[in-house]
Structure 1
Amino acid sequence: MLGLAVGDALGAPAENMKPSQIRQRWGRIEGFVTDDPVGTDDTEYAVFSGLLLAEHGSSLTVAHVEAAWHRWIADLDEGPFRGAGFSERGTLENLRRGLAAPISAQHRHAWSDGLAMRAAPFGVYAAGRPAEAARLVAVDGTVSHDGEGIYGGRAVAAGVATAMVAGSTDAVIAAALSVIPEDSWTARSLRRAVAAAQCSRLTPGSTRLGTERAVRSAVVIGGYPWTDLAPEAVGLAFGAFAASRGDFTGSVLTAVNMGRDADTTAAVAGALAGALGGIDAIPNHWAEAIGPVRGSCLPSMAGYHVLDVAELLTPRPEEATAS
């Protein structure tokens, strides 16, 4: 959860930028580029889903999720609500019109990465159980996503669930692929990104820039105006994770410097690498910059810290023994 928040804050300034624009402005991003780093809707929605999951656990239903969307978001005064993705806006419009799930997810952006960005809590809760993590995140996503949007969330949740207990990037990638259709766009994008990362990494004389270009070329849809496609964003995130062999710093910075939906790709890469390496893998000066969320997107989430939510999702030793 902390890895997600760090990746989100690192990537936020580069969101929707091309790598050439990033290089022109900052050279290569190697850390926070603002004096006040802050996360986006990615972190706030992860907190939202984490609190919902902590309340209901494996008994979570679509009705619970829909009720939470109404209680914490749709039925409140909107407030600033800055930074919400298209899928979330479409969902809220449908809920406010009285539509219920799964009809609430029938909007033009049901394929977005909005579920993938909030999928990490399900992997934390279902550590070592990728199929259960994928099942639960799909329950959450039924209110807001469909098709490839659901597949992206399932891949991330299963990847995090495995990273919580595994010791290799290969196991994490295999778990992600195991819970989505083999012939789906998301699966093809993920496989292409990982293959490009591994091939570039093994090429003599290859550089970080070369690897980033290879991964981008493998999955980015050239000329398409939106950067929040779940198959693309999930592919880029897993490509960054694979290129860096799960190293936290390398994973998030690779994702950031590839641009596109950089806050989400870095958040997902950070969640995967954070779960694999643990909290000690995250540089202290990055971790210390993460405070309670500010509610700039979801006012009802203001004041929650991702580590507090993570604590709610993690069973205490005596609870784990009893179960």
Structure 2
Amino acid sequence: MTGLTGVTGMTGLRERARGALLGLAVGDALGAPAENMKPSEIRRRWGRITGYVAEHPSGTDDTEYAIFSGLLLARHGSALTVAHVETAWHEWIADLDEGPFRGAGFSERGTLENLRRGLAAPISAQHRHAWSDGLAMRAAPFGVFAAGQPAEAARLVAIDGSVSHDGEGIYGGQAVAAGVAAAMVGAAVDSVVAAALSVIPMDCWTSRSLRRAVAVAHRGERAVRSAVVIGGYPWTDLAPEAVGLAFGAYAAASGEFPGAVLTAVNMGRDADTTAAVAGALAGASCGVSAIPLPWAAAIAPARGSCLPSMRGHHVLDIAELLVSDRGVS
């Protein structure tokens, strides 16, 4: 699958771009308090989460890294190279003091340590968490940029990911980027899923997980979670698991925004990332107007808590940058 034909006009493209990236940030902020929790723990604390439960909701490293990749892509477009990505990691992260999150997740920390030791891509991605969902969480901008071109979105996100990820970590990012690219032109949920699967090996763990999740999505979040989650495994940032849960939530809600995001949140595990990905998919599918206004209004410019260099950038500004070269008015 190299491209998709959709009915989206140019104005619709901008609305979908805004929906995808604002949807990512909203999902991130909604899911952050439930990160690393079990559904039973979520229920005991909040009942069912139906909106923000934090007093001051904000995005985490998921949003800040998505802004990072969006800025990188806006700067280089389809000419993006591994050297560009590596330079940006040094310029915007590795060679600066980090925020309180200290580089964020395990894959980012491992990458930064390797880069600071003088290692270059792809050796910089040789750490113990190269299979994490750290690329998937920042993949949506590539789908926005390559709207209607899942293969191109997958090609570009793999270039980005080569500095920090390998194997299943790359596949997770490619599935998300391709899915968003399909959703950006109004593809149906089944076609969005097919686009995601078309760019990764059929026999890889991410593909199997995604297919299992979507197959049982009509039975709801408990079935999706049971089909995907590796019981007893302590880490929640596995790309095959997070991507499966996110697409399962998106399919369970038939692509509808609040349902997709809240399904992901209430399944727990890496809830900020799964809800961010589900939000990007549903936001691209439905457009920014589908995001409840109180949820959207809470998203402010990035605080730079993880990446100080991203402070002050708003995801909606990134959306504008990614569609501006298409002549969208």
TM-score, length basis structure 2: 0.92
Partner of 2:121: 101
Give unpaired runs (5+ residues) of structure 1: 201-210
Whether 2:46 is the aligned partner of 1:23: answer no
Q: Which moved more, 1:283-292 or 1:308-317?
A: 308-317
SS at match of 1:314: helix
Partner of 2:231: 222
Q: Deviations over 1:72-95 (max 9, x none)?
A: 000012342357000000000000
Matches of 1:62 and 1:263, distance apart in 2: 27
Partner of 2:95: 75
Counterpart of 1:47, as a letter, is I
Match of 1:35 among 25, 36, 55: 55
Partner of 1:244: 253
Matches of 2:197 and 2:176, distance apart in 1: 10
Matches of 1:94 and 1:316, distance apart in 2: 35
Structure 1 residue 171: deviation in Å? 0.9
Matches of 1:257 and 1:317, distance apart in 2: 37
Whether 2:242 is the aligned partner of 1:233: answer yes
Counterpart of 1:314, as a letter, is V
Partner of 2:68: 48
Structure 1 residue 304: deviation in Å? 0.2
Counterpart of 1:18, as a letter, is K
Q: Do 2:103 and 2:112's aligned partners in 1 also have CA atoms closer than 8 Å?
A: no
Partner of 2:9: none
Matches of 1:138 and 1:316, distance apart in 2: 22
Counterpart of 1:132, as a letter, is E
Match of 1:124 among 140, 144, 148: 144
Q: Do 1:40 and 1:83's aligned partners in 2 also have CA atoms closer than 8 Å?
A: no
Counterpart of 1:187, as a letter, is S
Counterpart of 2:196, as a letter, is A
Q: How many pairs were matched up?
A: 309
Q: Do 2:153 and 2:174's aligned partners in 1 also have CA atoms closer than 8 Å?
A: yes
Matches of 1:167 and 1:156, distance apart in 2: 14
Match of 1:182 among 196, 202, 222: 202
Partner of 1:4: 24
Structure 1 vs Structure 2: percent identity of aligned residues? 81
Q: Do 1:44 and 1:295's aligned partners in 2 also have CA atoms closer than 8 Å?
A: yes
Match of 1:141 among 161, 165, 175: 161
SS at match of 1:181: coil
Structure 1 residue 318: deviation in Å? 3.6
Matches within 5 A, 1:251-262: 251-262=260-271
Partner of 1:212: 221
Partner of 1:306: 315
Whether 2:309 is the aligned partner of 1:295: answer no
Structure 1 residue 34: deviation in Å? 1.7
Q: Deviations over 1:153-201 (max 9, x none)?
A: 0000000000000241011000000000000000000000000113x1x
Structure 1 residue 316: deviation in Å? 5.3
Q: Residue 275 and residue 113 in structure 1: after superposition, are their counterparts in 2 closer, same or farther (change >3 A)?
A: same
Partner of 2:5: none
How large is the Cα RMSD of the aligned pairs?
Answer: 1.1
SS at match of 2:89: helix
Matches of 1:90 and 1:139, distance apart in 2: 18
TM-score, length basis structure 1: 0.94
RCO greater where, 1 or 2, for CA within 8 Å and sep 6 or more?
Answer: 2
Whether 2:130 is the aligned partner of 1:110: answer yes
Matches within 5 A, 1:87-98: 87-98=107-118
